[in-house]
Amino acid sequence: MAEQRNWLAVVVLIVYALVGIATFSTFINFDNQYTPVQAVRMRENDLLSPSVSPSTASPGKKQTSKPALPTKNTSTSSSSNLTSTEVPLIRIDPSRSNQTHAPLHSAKIDHSTQKHTPLPAITVDPSRRKALAGNKEWKQMQDFPRVKQPWVYNKTAADNFRKELEECCGEDPVVTKKNHPVNSTIQYDAEGKSRLYVSEAVARRFPDENPLKKTYARCSMVGSSGILSGSGCGKAIDSADFVLRCNLAPVAGQFKADVGQRTHLITMNPSMVQNRYKVFRNKTMKERFVRDLSEYGNTRVWMTPFSYKFGTSLSYRVQDVMKEFKLKQQMVFANPNFTGPVNTFWKRRGVRSFRSSTGMFLMTAALRICEEVHLYGFWPWHFDRLGRNLTHHYFDNSKVGWAHNFPHEFRQYQKLHNMGVIHLNTGSCT
Ligand SMILES: *[C@@H]1O[C@H](CO)[C@@H](O)[C@H](O)[C@H]1NC(C)=O
Ligand SMILES: *[C@@H]1O[C@H](CO)[C@@H](O)[C@H](O)[C@H]1NC(C)=O
Ligand SMILES: *[C@@H]1O[C@H](CO)[C@@H](O)[C@H](O)[C@H]1NC(C)=O
Ligand SMILES: *[C@@H]1O[C@H](CO)[C@@H](O)[C@H](O)[C@H]1NC(C)=O
Ligand SMILES: *[C@@H]1O[C@H](CO)[C@@H](O)[C@H](O)[C@H]1NC(C)=O
Ligand SMILES: *[C@@H]1O[C@H](CO)[C@@H](O)[C@H](O)[C@H]1NC(C)=O
Ligand SMILES: *[C@@H]1O[C@H](CO)[C@@H](O)[C@H](O)[C@H]1NC(C)=O
Ligand SMILES: *[C@@H]1O[C@H](CO)[C@@H](O)[C@H](O)[C@H]1NC(C)=O
């Protein structure tokens, strides 16, 4: 009898192990195949070279010191059908562009029941189609639907969705003296049971009140995908009342036409402090950071000190340097009582990954801050719809990570777009 039970236990264990391996390996495969890593990789040449993605670096070719530019040719070429089939974007009224923040409800929101016109057919160059046959990423892209055009904001749907978010993730997106006062504890959201006691010194790092209240009529949320290269979306992005960007993605110079420049909130990954600024080991590194940050004008810098323990002191260091150099930019710390539940929320909705990406967290926060959220530069593949290669980021071609599942996240953006909750822009703006 006991022997039989042992035997049964062994069978059960084996089955569990097999299921576990199967789940794990699909997860890993999926991610390795398709998911870009956060912009930990830098745009500077010295830090760029070791990390060109295998999918785009040809084996024999020596890596050049400059970031690979996309092969996409944006000038109107003779094979005009290739360039004209891209779904056009809705033009945004430039008169609304203003560095000061337009009050909520100032936007003229069109509630008319606009009919959705059928999407134009996409003609992929036959030789390109042949070359891509069997490419897994390309195949996956074909299986994704295209989104409804033109996009129309649906206030009812957006308010319903906000209500859902309020129920799951209603805490302030950032830590304040109010939500985490002196003598309280902070629970890290990505690291098991780690907690932090809020001393008076710690609390001094937090603002009194949540500075990110729902105030803005129209926001641009800018991801870093290579799809932005040559998009000409800079003006459209900058015409919003509030612009959010990820991981110190560059805006000046050559990038301005495609990604704009105005920035009101930009994230910085704690690991960037190590990789790019060498934990500010000397003055040069501090000055480099200050110079990089100056690109963004009067922005807020969003960091996540309370997700992983290693991020706490690194985030504090950044805040201290900002103070030391008397920068006008301000630091905000993501509230783990916001990011934790948000991560769970998207998992429940089918985003199968270790953790939501920065873009996903920020998009969710943007829905709390803005009436209309317009997404640019969110695209999980290294091809556009015409099969033209894209770099990983619009500013570099760093390697693909494993922690996030960008195709799954993209599916959520598509759903929200079709509901009229957010506007997902993946086309050209010109
Ligand atoms: C485009 O990417 C594919 C694989 O992702 C690669 O094999 C091909 O060489 C690239 N083409 C160009 C023109 O860079
Ligand atoms: C893009 O296409 C135009 C017109 O065909 C051509 O003149 C130009 O050289 C191309 N640019 C690149 C970078 O291929
Ligand atoms: C472009 O499409 C038109 C019809 O839509 C067709 O007549 C023409 O041959 C196409 N041109 C190319 C270069 O494919
Ligand atoms: C931009 O903001 C300034 C200062 O608040 C205001 O005087 C100006 O009229 C605004 N411009 C537009 C186009 O809203
Ligand atoms: C807006 O969304 C609501 C709720 O999802 C839906 O009932 C309504 O039909 C939508 N309106 C339009 C114009 O699509
Ligand atoms: C925090 O706790 C310390 C020690 O128990 C106490 O002296 C102090 O008054 C408390 N501060 C606040 C703001 O509650
Ligand atoms: C500062 O640190 C960086 C990175 O280690 C190093 O390359 C640079 O030479 C240092 N600069 C000075 C002035 O010590
Ligand atoms: C934050 O979340 C933790 C659980 O992760 C919970 O124990 C704590 O009470 C929450 N704090 C606040 C201020 O809601």
Query: Region 328-355: what's the mean pLDDT?
Result: 96
Q: Report H helices in 295-371.
A: 310-324, 336-348, 358-369
Indicate whether residue 55 lines ligand 1 (CB < 6 A).
Answer: yes
Question: For residue 101, what pLDDT is reported?
Answer: 33
How wide is the angle at C-alpha 365 spanned by C-alphas 361 and 370, nearest 5°?
145
Q: What is the C-alpha to C-alpha distance for residues 335 and 115, in angstroms, rounded to an integer? A: 40
Q: What is the C-alpha to C-alpha distance for residues 243 and 234, in angstroms, rounded to an integer? A: 11
Query: Region 258-266: what's the mean pLDDT?
Result: 97
Instruction: Give the Å distance between the CA of 189 and the centre of ligand 8.
Output: 9
Query: Region 113-136: what's the mean pLDDT?
Result: 83
Instruction: Give the pairing type, strands 330-333 and 300-303.
Output: parallel
Q: What is the C-alpha to C-alpha distance for residues 409 and 179, in angstroms, rounded to an integer? A: 29
Q: Kindly list the domain boundaries of the chain, sorted by start residue.
A: 155-425
pLDDT-based confidence at 15, cuts 50/70/90? Answer: low
Structure tokens at 423: 């506007």
Of all atoms in ligand 5, which is nearest to the CA of residue 111?
A: 13
Instruction: Give the Å distance between the CA of 340 and the centre of ligand 2.
Output: 47
Query: Region 205-230: what's the mean pLDDT?
Result: 95
137-180: per-residue pLDDT in tens? Answer: 999 999 999 998 899 999 999 999 999 999 999 999 999 999 99
Indicate whether residue 187 lines ligand 8 (CB < 6 A).
Answer: yes
Nearest-ligand number for the alpha carbon of 200: 6
Residue 113 DSSP symbol: -
Indicate whether residue 33 lines ligand 1 (CB < 6 A).
Answer: no
- Is 116 catalytic? The answer is no
Of all atoms in ligand 6, which is nearest to the CA of residue 181?
A: 13
Of all atoms in ligand 8, which is nearest to the CA of residue 340?
A: 5
Q: What is the C-alpha to C-alpha distance for residues 82 and 359, in angstroms, rounded to an integer? A: 30
Residue bearing the CA closest to ligand 5, atom 6 = 157
Which CATH number is 155-425's, of 3.90.1480.20, 3.30.70.330, 3.30.1300.10, 3.90.45.10? Answer: 3.90.1480.20
Question: For residue 170, what pLDDT is reported?
Answer: 95
User: pLDDT: is 401 or 58 the higher one?
Assistant: 401
Q: What is the C-alpha to C-alpha distance for residues 80 and 227, in angstroms, rounded to an integer? A: 19
Of all atoms in ligand 8, which is nearest to the CA of residue 184?
A: 13
Q: What is the C-alpha to C-alpha distance for residues 300 and 212, in angstroms, rounded to an integer? A: 10
CB neighbours of 411 closer than 8 A, spacing ≥ 6?
Answer: 144, 350
Q: Percent of the chain beyond pLDDT 90? A: 67
How buried is 74 (Cβ within 10 angstroms: 0-12 exposed, 13-18 middle, 19+ buried)? middle
Query: Region 339-356: what's the mean pLDDT?
Result: 96
Nearest to 423 by CA among 143, 236, 165: 236
Question: For residue 116, what pLDDT is reported?
Answer: 63
Nearest-ligand number for the alpha carbon of 82: 3
Does an H or E element contain 155, and which?
helix 155-169
Indicate whether residue 156 lines ligand 3 (CB < 6 A).
Answer: no
Nearest-ligand number for the alpha carbon of 172: 8
Q: Is the pLDDT of residue 355 over 50?
A: yes
Query: Region 346-350: what's the mean pLDDT?
Result: 97
Query: Region 48-62: what's the mean pLDDT?
Result: 33
Residue type, 428: S
The pair phi, psi for residue 47, each rounded to 5°, is -95, -10
Residue type, 426: T
Indicate whether residue 76 lines ligand 2 (CB < 6 A).
Answer: no
Structure tokens at 395: 């500013």
Indicate whether residue 337 lines ligand 8 (CB < 6 A).
Answer: yes
Query: Region 205-227: what's the mean pLDDT?
Result: 95
User: pLDDT: is 24 or 242 the higher one?
Assistant: 242
Nearest to 243 by CA among 372, 77, 397, 418: 372
If one residue of 46, 284, 288, 321 were mutated to test the ligand 7 pocket, choosing by the most ligand atoms within 8 A of its CB, it would be 284
Nearest to 403 by CA among 345, 341, 360, 368: 360
Question: For residue 26, what pLDDT is reported?
Answer: 37
The 10 Å Cβ neighbour count of residue 358 is 23
Question: For residue 227, what pLDDT is reported?
Answer: 96
Question: For residue 282, what pLDDT is reported?
Answer: 96
CB neighbours of 368 closer than 8 A, spacing ≥ 6?
Answer: 162, 165, 173, 212, 214
Question: For residue 398, what pLDDT is reported?
Answer: 87
CA dihedral 165, 224, 310, 44 (to 10 degrees): -170
Residue 49, SS3 per DSSP = helix
Q: Is the pLDDT of residue 75 over 90?
A: no
Instruction: Give the Å distance between the CA of 376 and the centre of ligand 5.
Output: 24
